[in-house]
Structure 1
Amino acid sequence: MASELQGHHLGARHKYLNLLSKSIEQEYVSFEDIDISASDIINIVKIDLASKNRNINYILIVLQCEDMLYVSRALKQCPWLISDSGYENIINPEYLHKVLYPKMTSKAVTKLKKYIKLILKDCQRVEQFYAYEENEKEALEWLPHCSPDFIVTNFKKHIDHVDIPLLKRLCEKTIAPLEIYLDCNIVLYKKQEALQATTFLLKIDLKKYLDLVEHSEYNLKFNSNCTKYILKQDASRIMNNIEFYYSVIDIKTFLNHLKKEDVKHYLYKLFESKKSKERRFIKFEMLVNFLTAMPEADRLETVKQVFLDKIHLIENKCPLPKPLRISMNNLYTFMSTCKWHFIYDHYWYRFTSFDFAYPQIIKIISNDMSVEEINSIVETLIIVAANCEKYLTELVEYFCKHYNNGDARIKKSFIVNIFKNSANLNKNTWEKIKNTFMGDIFYETDDTIYDENFVQLCMELIIINELIFSGKISEIIHKRFKFNSLKKYQNKIPEESREKLFEVLLNLITKKINSHVELNKKEYLNKVELLDSALDLLNDWNKELRDYPVILNMITDFVNSTGGSNV
């Protein structure tokens, strides 16, 4: 037999070893004892043959040897020794502890125990091992493969040693261990962790698991998949107890499940009681999700009644039923505690339509307002314009007319917000924005309002929009633009303009690289940075360097020119 395994890599050598085991006939091999002095290949092949032919005597001899390589191979190749009831006379706690274990090394014993716990699934046999074990912590490790009744009977005595992974394994057999665990005197966060780790029980025993959740005081959170499953199997469980489940379920999934016209009902249902104003787990963002999920008419009515007109505060004149008025008042009171999310009441116009919000907001704008409040109004109006070309044009015309010579901070806010929230501009609207709000940035000033980041934002926007509308970019823009690949705009511009933009950027970086001729230390570092930017440009636009010899030649020339110098 070969003393070395053939093959250029580990997989090939494993394959060769398996072929060796299959090709050798058992009758030509001696199984009287394991020869430690023989090569590993010979002994491993013998173990494989013994396993294949269930030569139990030889396998037991191997388990008693001192070489863990052979012990591990025997255990790996002989799962039948543990799982097959025909070998129960060997794999039982009494025989192992009294006969086999004393003849094995401690490492081999540990390994065999591990394999038995892993492979043995016969409940009665596993329960024998459990009963034989004197150490409670060791006995607990046998429990997952015992019968459900046996688990329930013995689980509580091990409660101090139960960790969450083991609890999960036990709950795969029965939900009872979780019930017992939650009833015991265990720290709160551990109970919460146990419930969170066993959400798979929703698909095993939905009713009982939700009973446990509802009777708990733990901050449990179901993800989108769990929420979908509950809604599919028993939606009424959530619908009838939304006051509890609002903090447990994924609220966006719940809102997607609802009919649009029912969203308002469940929002008010959340705030029926006075305690709702003090709910710990209601978040501002969650309530915003409710508003945005409503049909436009319901959303407008809710915002108008609760946050703008505040009709719930006029007790004698409010025509609404008292329960609804209470819900509105509780909702308003709660939102008033979230003022860090919004400062001005006109914030709520963001959830209405442009046709409703624009004339209302224009009425309240005055010269007495602070710059901060006007900036907030600017953002609100741009949000409700919702990327509609008609509305954006109307908005731009208004601000161009009234704030042409206004505070630079308002101009800056207008530019930042309109390009953060909108992309659908026509040529005339773009020209008005550029001429009215961007004129100042073309000149070097000491005004700290126009910081470098803002200037570069304007340069980027000018490059993008000038390219779309005129196809030309002025030299002053080229000079002020701090080069980057403009990757973030790729999906925001028309497809036909993308390749044009790439060509403009490629030409721009090429010119910048060629402008660095003298290789003093400063020029050297600048050129390295520019070449790096050129490579980033190709990478960000999914281009191959080999397709752009102009960049490749520049890199080659640069390397050659610096090869012998010490810059």
Structure 2
Amino acid sequence: MILTGKNLGERQRELNNKVNEAFSNKVDFEHVRYEPEHSDVDRLFKIDLASKYKNLDYILETIKCGDSLYVSRALKSSWLFEDEYSHIINVDYLHNELFPYMSFKMVRKLLTIVSMHVKDEKIIEFYNYCKKQRLTQNGYKFLVRTSESFRLQNVPDVNSLIDKQMLTYYIGDSFPIATYCFENTPESEHNDMLAQFSYLYAVSADKFLDMLEKFWSDDGFELNQKAIGLRISKDIMTKHKTRLYNLPLFYLRIVRRPVLLKFSTVQDAKFYLTVLLPDSITQFWRMHFYSKYKYIFELIPFEERLIEFEKIFKKKWPNEEFRLSPHFYQNRYFDLMRIDIKEAWSLQQIERGVELSGTENDFTLYRFVRFEKAFEELKKKIKVTKKLDTRAEMLIVLVKSAKTDRDIEKVLRYFYERHINEMLHVREMFVEAVMTEHNVYKFDLPCWEAYNQLLYNLRIYEPDYHSPKSDFKIMPLIYNIINRIEIPKNISRFLESGVYFNFFRVQVGSLTKEEFEMVYEYVLSYYLNRINDIETQPSNEELKPRIRTYVHYILDLLYHFNKTIHNIPEVLENYILADIQEFQNHHLLKNELRYTDKLTQGKLYKFLKQDVSVFLANLPRLEEIFGVQMLRIRVASVLSKLKIYFNHDIAKDVLSIYERNLCREAYYYTTANDIVYGILKLGDTDYVINFMEKFVPTETKIHFDQIDGNTLLTQQAICRFMCFTRPPLPLHYVHKYLRGDYVKFCLSIFNSYLAKLPRPACLEFVKSLIDKPVSVQKHGIRLAFQCLDVEDLKNIIVEVWTQNDNVSLRSVIYKNLYHKILKSDPDIRNALFDLLKNFTLTLRPTDDEDLISLGASDRLPYELKGEYIETLWNVVDNMPLTGTYITMREIVVKCMSKNVHLVRDAVLRDLTEKTIRNALSGLQFQEAKFVDDLTKAKWKFVAKYLTYFKNENDFNRKSAKVLNVLEDCIIRWRTVNTEVYVFRRLFEEFLNDIDVFSFENNLSSYKYMNEMYKRILDVIFKSLRIEEVYERIWFLKFSMVAKEAVMSVEPKIREFNIDLIDKCIENFSVGFAKLFKEMLDSKFYFKIVALAVTAPLELQIMNMLGDFQCWDEKKKVDTFVRIGYELTKVDDFDHYVFAMFLLPKDPDECTYIEIYKEVMKKLKDLNNKEMNIFMYRKYVEPNYTRHPFYSFNY
């Protein structure tokens, strides 16, 4: 069958018409079925006709054929999914009868189509099937169509099944499912999810807002533009405003600002400002409250803003200064004042001599004073000021104080008369300040002339003027244009060289619309005239390159003046189109198709749908692309359409272009890829085989100094793209390229064939790779793990493992076996685990050390992990103690430390005994024995094992072993090696490891640990001098108090719970105070080393908080504050001193502000000179800043 339509659409319709005609004429399909096929169109005709006749046998035969085009066409037979054919579209039939003959890609496609048609219980069957087969994306497509109750049961699988962007389809209108998703998703993702689920507001506004309030993650007071849209914001402000009053801080964060302002009253604004005030005055000044919430202030009439906010401020902090505080000026609250009030306030501050903006900077306040007074006062100050920078700042304040043209003129003439000889940077600063503070384009002529005098002084009109201050050159030009003053050449010449139109855009921002257009028209006309001047000159060849520059200037002008391509003058379009390569990437043009000359797949596809002649006319442009290095054109979909619908005509023309350009003179990597890909996609099987035969490598090794470069590029491209032929090439021809040095160019075909080949062909391909050299064989092994069943897989890899010494190949087998176990269901997992153990036991010293690291990565399922770790240890324990084998042992020992609860006790005890015996035997040892990484890892393992208790008997045995180790260290206490007390260090590190691991065990083991610590402390007190273990004793005591505090609140699991945290802090503080008194009474506490005690205290507090998944520094400081509170309950100076040591300098570091105040009050009320010295040095002296809760009264 030959199609003759003039474009793609016509040929597709032509095929459809022929099918409809045959169906209408009741053509016998069995006669058509066995007719020879000469093209894809012939086969598509049969498939479409079979579909019309509902010929099930032929459709199923086509689905099994393996060709993705034909399979996809057959799957369009929607009748196949009707109830009549339910015996076909069910899990068992598809799995046993169809899927074994289909490619993985087509299996997924079929399941996707099935998910659109099946109903009721079949959906669940297919979902469970996809879940079992680990087809997660397909499983999700079934899951979203199940009932709410079923989806709710399967929420735990959601994170592994779906893309977060598709979560809304899964949730639907179900709030219970949405809630469950939130509860099982990290808090950091909640805000994005809430934005994603905002459609639920239309289902139930109250339920959505409840969910919003519950799951919103606090990230500050700023509006979050992603949270909710304008419509929901408006609804909240008009229908649910009570919620805003109940949770103001929350809703002020999420309601869109324009909506908030539109529907808020003056009283609302006062309420907002009141609730937004922070807890402390220090935080208030630091956060720049006014600038942060200026938009709320603006809701209040200007005349009332300052008065009303001052009331709010005084109500919160009645004893704090507002207007007279230096922070008032620094935070620009003076912007709230009327001009007359601001002037009075400024004069008051100047009279008081308060330095609001730094030392000797009181002159800055004169900018708020009437110009006449400010001018006279500042002149006096300038006259006596010697510092250049200070004098310059005073001049700028003078500029700011000027209000009218006459004021400005007066300042300008004063500067010209008195300061024109200042340093250049001072003059530039002054000119820039005038430009910034005033609209220079509104100056009248006398004022402009005074300003222009300064510009002349800066020499901006001189030809050799160069300065980063481009604004200075632009100002005179704009002023003259908008005031219709004749523009001298020394100004207009600025347009000839290096114009920065972004500066133009900034400068014209203060102009009126009319003035804006005047500037635009003048500059545009200037450049168009210059272009015309060049064109009209008789001999203009040397000047023509200048036209390109002017075109660039005009495009820049249009872009920065917010014009579009429609504003491009017609005369300019000819220059642009004639030199498109030069201009096509300009900001103004790059997204406009008529100004881009790149041939793209989209354009070719458009030509093909438009008219064959248009497509043919543009084909020569393909050859132009082939001649440009690093330029590629992707035409996969166009080539597919050509091969199907145009194989008798246009496809041959395109193929001839590819042939003609093969190995051309300008032949690049990208050229070879495009040409070879096109040939392989368009050619039929015979043509492709002949083409490949011409370039078959004659040797497995590439001799770069001998082989032709173009030939090598072609061979590489064939290797890369031979998997894209349709139908697939016979394997014999594939293997001609899949060898030696060419294998690395063929890597793409392995995964491609795995996905695209029907299963029988895929198995044949994989098995063909197994018998090849190692460079190919390892890829076959990797694919075998993905497509072979368990028994076939075991037979293949066991044979290769036992008969092969290649390290790389054995590594591939082991790693893929390990990952196969991780990903498989329990049946396959258990079938392969014994094989993994056998492979592990037969690992050789020459095998890749990464295999041990992989095995010790702690990723195997719980039920297999213990046995596997024992196997690993048996292997590494018999390896020599040299080189990388030591590292392997260390890795496995660390893995055993993490999993002492899974490994058999006999194995753990044996390693423990050996480690202790080797260290504490009377044999000669070296310092290195105690510092190498393996030994450290073993001692950490010992500590971990001896702190893991199964029951009381286990505790007693392990506790005795800990005491034996410590006693043996004490016996050798004075032993020195290389000037180091090695057993003292072992003693300290061992105790430290025990404490670290004690906090990693079950919370129920804490009672055993505290009993062990009591026994350890008994040994220490009996055997050692206090001076040598003073800090360690405190460390153990604090650990016991921390564990007691955790046990007292009885947490079920380690999770964040603020109520339990606060209760635990309270109990810890009470326990600490009791311990402190005991140590003080027993004369064990010494003030001189008080600071040394705080380090172990801080560590144990963080260990305690870690039991509640809390690592917030503020909660640690809260604990210090609470301890201080408990200590100051005892009327004792040492208690008070230690409390003072613990209190933070800044109250904002904690949340227990009221407790902090109370402790500070007690410390001040003590009225002890020694305490006063301590407190003054801590709270005042470092920076001499006033403390909010402490002042030193004389």
Provide TM-score, normalisation by structure 1: 0.72
Is the contact made by 2:477 and 2:487 (CA closer than 8 Å) also made in structure 1?
A: yes
Aligned counterparts of 1:192 and 1:496: Cα–Cα separation in 2: 46
Aligned counterparts of 2:343 and 2:20: Cα–Cα separation in 1: 84
1:46 paired to 2:43: no
Code of the aligned partner of 1:430: D
The answer for the alignment partner of 2:517 in structure 1 is: 498
Code of the aligned partner of 1:145: R
Percent of matched pairs sharing the same residue: 19
Measured after TM superposition, the shift of residue 289 of structure 1 is 1.9
The answer for the alignment partner of 2:269 in structure 1 is: 263
CA distance 1:256–1:473, change in 2 (3 Å): same
1:291 paired to 2:310: no
* Range 513-522 or range 104-113, more displaced: 513-522
3-state secondary structure, aligned to 2:414: coil
Is the contact made by 1:506 and 1:534 (CA closer than 8 Å) also made in structure 2?
A: no
CA distance 1:196–1:441, change in 2 (3 Å): same
Match of 2:124 among 119, 122, 127: 127
CA distance 1:229–1:42, change in 2 (3 Å): farther
> CA-to-partner distance for each residue in 1:26-78, whole Å, 9 max, x for gaps?
52041585767353223323333343454444332322222211110122x33
Aligned counterparts of 1:4 and 1:400: Cα–Cα separation in 2: 88
The answer for the alignment partner of 2:605 in structure 1 is: none
1:112 paired to 2:110: yes
The answer for the alignment partner of 2:553 in structure 1 is: 533
Is the contact made by 1:137 and 1:161 (CA closer than 8 Å) also made in structure 2?
A: no
CA distance 1:543–1:326, change in 2 (3 Å): same
Number of aligned residues: 505
CA distance 1:301–1:129, change in 2 (3 Å): same
Aligned counterparts of 1:106 and 1:20: Cα–Cα separation in 2: 33
Residues 153-552 of structure 1: pairs in structure 2 closer than 5 A: 153-157=153-157, 159=159, 163-184=163-184, 186-216=185-215, 218-219=217-218, 221=224, 222-225=227-230, 226-231=232-237, 233-260=239-266, 262-271=268-277, 273-274=279-280, 277=283, 286-302=292-308, 305=310, 312=313, 322-323=315-316, 344-345=329-330, 347-350=332-335, 361-362=368-369, 365=374, 367=378, 370=390, 371-372=392-393, 375=396, 394-406=403-415, 408=427, 409-419=429-439, 425=442, 429-443=443-457, 445=459, 452-454=467-469, 456-480=470-494, 484=499, 489=508, 492-495=511-514, 498=517, 502-503=521-522, 506-507=525-526, 510=529, 528-530=548-550, 532-534=552-554, 543=567, 545-546=569-570
Structure 2 unpaired stretches of 5+:
347-367, 383-389, 416-425, 580-1194
Measured after TM superposition, the shift of residue 247 of structure 1 is 2.5
Measured after TM superposition, the shift of residue 113 of structure 1 is 1.3
Code of the aligned partner of 2:434: F
Aligned counterparts of 1:88 and 1:524: Cα–Cα separation in 2: 76
3-state secondary structure, aligned to 1:470: coil
3-state secondary structure, aligned to 2:87: coil
Aligned counterparts of 1:65 and 1:357: Cα–Cα separation in 2: 88
1:98 paired to 2:117: no
CA distance 1:107–1:331, change in 2 (3 Å): farther
CA distance 1:328–1:244, change in 2 (3 Å): farther
Aligned counterparts of 1:241 and 1:144: Cα–Cα separation in 2: 35
The answer for the alignment partner of 1:564 in structure 2 is: none
Code of the aligned partner of 1:216: F
Is the contact made by 1:127 and 1:143 (CA closer than 8 Å) also made in structure 2?
A: yes
CA distance 1:253–1:52, change in 2 (3 Å): farther
Is the contact made by 1:277 and 1:330 (CA closer than 8 Å) also made in structure 2?
A: no
Aligned counterparts of 2:286 and 2:65: Cα–Cα separation in 1: 63
Is the contact made by 1:144 and 1:170 (CA closer than 8 Å) also made in structure 2?
A: yes
Structure 1 unpaired stretches of 5+:
313-319, 337-342, 382-391, 557-567
Residues 30-109 of structure 1: pairs in structure 2 closer than 5 A: 30-31=29-30, 33=33, 37-75=37-75, 77-82=76-81, 84-109=82-107
Measured after TM superposition, the shift of residue 165 of structure 1 is 2.9
Measured after TM superposition, the shift of residue 151 of structure 1 is 0.6
Aligned counterparts of 2:434 and 2:122: Cα–Cα separation in 1: 76
Is the contact made by 2:534 and 2:544 (CA closer than 8 Å) also made in structure 1?
A: no
CA distance 1:191–1:300, change in 2 (3 Å): closer
Measured after TM superposition, the shift of residue 144 of structure 1 is 1.3
CA distance 1:156–1:105, change in 2 (3 Å): closer
The answer for the alignment partner of 2:135 in structure 1 is: 138
Code of the aligned partner of 1:61: E
CA distance 1:465–1:402, change in 2 (3 Å): closer
CA distance 1:431–1:451, change in 2 (3 Å): farther
Provide TM-score, normalisation by structure 2: 0.37
Aligned counterparts of 1:28 and 1:290: Cα–Cα separation in 2: 79
Structure exhibiting the larger radius of gyration computed from Cα positions: 2
> CA-to-partner distance for each residue in 1:354-384, whole Å, 9 max, x for gaps?
67657861159553594447747866x7xxx
* Range 278-287 or range 254-263, more displaced: 278-287
> CA-to-partner distance for each residue in 1:479-532, whole Å, 9 max, x for gaps?
455665756749934538835762465247745996999999997866653454
The answer for the alignment partner of 1:388 in structure 2 is: none
Aligned counterparts of 1:350 and 1:180: Cα–Cα separation in 2: 49
Is the contact made by 1:227 and 1:254 (CA closer than 8 Å) also made in structure 2?
A: yes
The answer for the alignment partner of 1:316 in structure 2 is: none
Code of the aligned partner of 1:28: V
3-state secondary structure, aligned to 2:254: coil
> CA-to-partner distance for each residue in 1:303-346, whole Å, 9 max, x for gaps?
7x38xxxx95xxxxxxx6x35x579989999x96xxxxxx9548
Measured after TM superposition, the shift of residue 439 of structure 1 is 1.7
Code of the aligned partner of 2:259: T
Is the contact made by 1:271 and 1:328 (CA closer than 8 Å) also made in structure 2?
A: no
Code of the aligned partner of 2:433: S
Measured after TM superposition, the shift of residue 148 of structure 1 is 0.5
RMSD, aligned CA: 4.8
Aligned counterparts of 2:17 and 2:89: Cα–Cα separation in 1: 30
* Range 508-517 or range 29-38, more displaced: 508-517
3-state secondary structure, aligned to 1:5: coil
